[in-house]
Amino acid sequence: MLFSDIPQLLGSFFDFMDSPQWRAWPFNSGYGEHILPAVARLLFVSLIIGAILLFLRLLFGPGGPLRDKELEEEARIQTERERAEVEELFAKGEISELEYKTRMKSLKD
């Protein structure tokens, strides 16, 4: 491919993108088309954003390889503190056994 062909290719590409179907893709107003292509574009963009969020969650979420180890330690200490408080409240009789089990289940690792 010669460098002299690049301007012609770019011109053709921009002419194609300037057509009414692609002018405001993926967020066009929907004129001249049915609802299904607009819904398909919305689902496509939602899928891409969801994949990015899932990827970030796997990397930086609990137990992720790029998560700061200090955050894991702080979370563990906070959970132990909350468990001790719940056990203390149950020992004093301030909460019922059902509430104790429910709270302890929510504080499970």
CB 76 within 8 A of CB 48: no
Domains in the chain: boundaries = 35-67, 68-109
pTM exceeds 0.85, yes or no: no
Please name the helix (run of DSSP H) or strand (run of DSSP E) that holds residue 19, with its range, or none. Answer: none
In terms of C-beta density within 10 A (0-12 exposed, 13-18 middle, 19 or more buried), how is residue 109 classed? exposed
Sign, CA dihedral 101-102-104-105, equals positive
Q: What is the pLDDT of residue 59?
A: 92
In tens digits, the chain (109 residues) has pLDDT values of 567 778 887 787 777 666 666 555 555 555 556 677 777 888 999 999 999 999 999 998 888 888 888 888 888 899 999 999 999 999 988 988 899 999 889 888 5
Q: What is the pLDDT of residues 29-52, one digit of tens each?
A: 555 566 777 778 889 999 999 999
Structure tokens at 80: 């132990």
